Amino acid sequence: MNLTPEEQAMLAGEEGWATRKAMEILVALGRIYGAARMVPVTSVQVAGVSYDNLGEAGLDFLKAMAEGGGRARVLATLNPAGMDVENWAALGIDADFAARQEEVLAPFARMGIVTTCTCTPYLVGNLPRYGEHIAWAESSAVCYANSVIGARTNREGGPSALAAALTGRTPLYGYHLDENRRPDVAVRVESKLQGSADMGALGRALGQKLEARGRRAVPYITGVEAASLEELKSFCASIATYGGVALFHMAGITPEAAQFAPPGETLVVTRAEIDAARQALDTASGPVDFVSLGCPHLSLREIARLAELLEGRRVRKTFWITAARPVKEMADRMGYTQVIEASGAQFAVDTCCVVAPIRGRFTALATDSAKACYYAAAKHGLQTRLLSFDEAVQEALGDTQRERHE
């Protein structure tokens, strides 16, 4: 790889052990993927934060990097941790786990990484601009950054994202290059869509079709007339989960779509397929005992809707509301938090129902997130029920009038 004098100095250890290690990781990655050089990044999002996923080996690596003088050179935030950093005890997290999780966050803080733990960094000030090169790790956020914002990132692993933060660089390959951002398959959606669950079901139906083609896809999607930020974040999470998609173009909605003509090969997604995707995630054979909203983390608009639905009501099931801490702080100021907590629902800030260590505590999860359904089943062995946002709230309230998709 062609390295600048500054990058060579980092690799030679002139800027400390951790920076050398970080540059070694990036050079190795660049060699594997045939990158000609590095590119400066303006923003980083680091994954591998939950102690539940990281374990002792990961913790030791982070401590060594902090000890070795690692220091973030660009704005960097974290993916969700395994617990609400301030309110873990009320959410049933045990003290040993909490101590280990705090040990994970300390070296990140020492390295100058903003310890806001969220998969929606774009809602809390880590918002790159169109065309900027960045290094993000969380798959839903990567898909959102590439597709909805038009920034450029590969899906980084925990170590490579950290390395990008400590050097301000990433190898120039993959989605950083124009040629890999061109769509290679057209998709026509033959259905009206509404809400996060519907968009998540589309992500599952389409993701599985793309997976079946057996190669990396950049779909060019037509037929979606409008989509809110919340619907797009749900779609990004789902299509990344079920189809491994890190970039799509959506005609009339995403910023790069206008540059391209739809490719020749066309897939069609019908209403029946979207409904089948919803039904496939409805695996709960008995009552739901856990409801969670906020995968990806909730926007302030979603929290406002939640407060509206919960005003003066009492939930009858464990109900987690997952969000970034700065978004929750805005909700505090707006009075939404008070209304939501008065209903018995609990904020689980900094974390989510997938990365928290909840295995064995619940049987069946209701959520509006197709991604949460996938990982709750795979990671925690939960049965699932995919509902609309409002239906999930009704489920938590114990109301029975929800419309089933059967």
The residues that touch ligand F3S, with contacts defined as CB under 6 A, are: 79-80, 119, 138, 140, 237, 295-297, 322, 352, 354-355, 371-372, 375
80 versus 107: smaller Cβ distance to ligand F3S: 80
107 versus 294: smaller Cβ distance to ligand F3S: 294
Q: What are phi and psi of 325, to 5 degrees?
A: -60, -45
Residue 141 Cβ, how far from ligand F3S at the closest point, in Å? 8
Residue 312 Cβ, how far from ligand F3S at the closest point, in Å? 28
84 versus 138: smaller Cβ distance to ligand F3S: 138
80 versus 150: smaller Cβ distance to ligand F3S: 80
38 versus 114: smaller Cβ distance to ligand F3S: 114
Residue 237 Cβ, how far from ligand F3S at the closest point, in Å? 5
38 versus 149: smaller Cβ distance to ligand F3S: 149
Residue 375 Cβ, how far from ligand F3S at the closest point, in Å? 5
Cα dihedral 166, 60, 84, 351, rounded to 10, equals 70
Residue 355 Cβ, how far from ligand F3S at the closest point, in Å? 5
Residue 234 Cβ, how far from ligand F3S at the closest point, in Å? 9
3-state secondary structure the chain: CECCHHHHHHHCCCCCHHHHHHHHHHHHHHHHCCCCEEEECCEEEECCCCHHHHHHHHHHHHHHHHHCCCCCCCEEEECCCCCCCCCCHHHCCCHHHHHHHHHHHHHHHHCCCEEEECCCHHHCCCCCCCCCECEECCHHHHHHHHHHHCCECCECCHHHHHHHHHHCEEECCHHHCHHHCCCCEEEEEECCCCHHHHHHHHHHHHHHHHHHHCCCCCEEEECCCCCCHHHHHHHHHHHHHHHCCCCCEECCCCCCHHHCCCCCCEEEEEHHHHHHHHHHCCCCCCCCCEEEECCCCCCHHHHHHHHHHHCCCCCCCEEEECCCHHHHHHHHHHCHHHHHHHCCCEECCCCCCCCCCCCCCCCEEEECCHHHHHHHHHHHCCEEEECCHHHHHHHHHCCCCCCCCC
Q: Distances from the Cα of 13 to the Cαs of 8, 19, 21, 120, 159, in angstroms?
A: 9, 7, 8, 34, 18
185 versus 206: smaller Cβ distance to ligand F3S: 206
Residue 99 Cβ, how far from ligand F3S at the closest point, in Å? 22
295 versus 366: smaller Cβ distance to ligand F3S: 295
Residue 238 Cβ, how far from ligand F3S at the closest point, in Å? 10
Residue 327 Cβ, how far from ligand F3S at the closest point, in Å? 13
126 versus 140: smaller Cβ distance to ligand F3S: 140
Peptide bond just before 296 cis, omega within 30 deg: yes
CA–chain centroid gap for 374, Å, is 13
297 versus 305: smaller Cβ distance to ligand F3S: 297
Measuring CA to CA, which residue among 355, 311, 342 is closest to residue 83? Answer: 355
Residue 156 Cβ, how far from ligand F3S at the closest point, in Å? 15
